[in-house]
Amino acid sequence: MDLEALQARLRAFAVERQWGTFHTPKNLSMALMVETAELMELFQWMTPEESSAASRDPVLKSRMGEEMADVLLYLLQLADHTGVDLQAAVEDKLLKNAQKHPVPGAHFP
């Protein structure tokens, strides 16, 4: 997935609809949380076992995909509007997580 190309498509989509004044970091972060809550709602009353099996239901799997896509799209827009390089941020975070939570017996410099 080419994140920069996707961000450019999202930028053009918003410009065509004159949404620029609404796409502030505050509003985009709030929209991101709303979409995350909609994803969470799909699993709300499931047992852990039911949630693990949920993707076997084609209708539910499709709904999960739609909500996950919404989350990703808002996250990409938020990164674009704040100038955060998501690829660099992810690489940095993975390194920090590996140092914070090392494999038992492994040593990091």
List domains and CATH numbers for the chain.
3-100 (1.10.287.1080)
User: Which residue stretches of the chain have pLDDT < 70?
Assistant: 107-109
**pTM to 2 decimals?**
0.89
Confidence (pLDDT) at 107: 67
Q: What is the pLDDT of residues 20-51, one digit of tens each?
A: 999 999 999 999 999 999 999 999 999 999 99
Residue 77, class by beta-carbon neighbours within 10 Å (0-12 exposed, 13-18 middle, 19+ buried)? buried
- The Cα 68–Cα 49 span in angstroms is 20
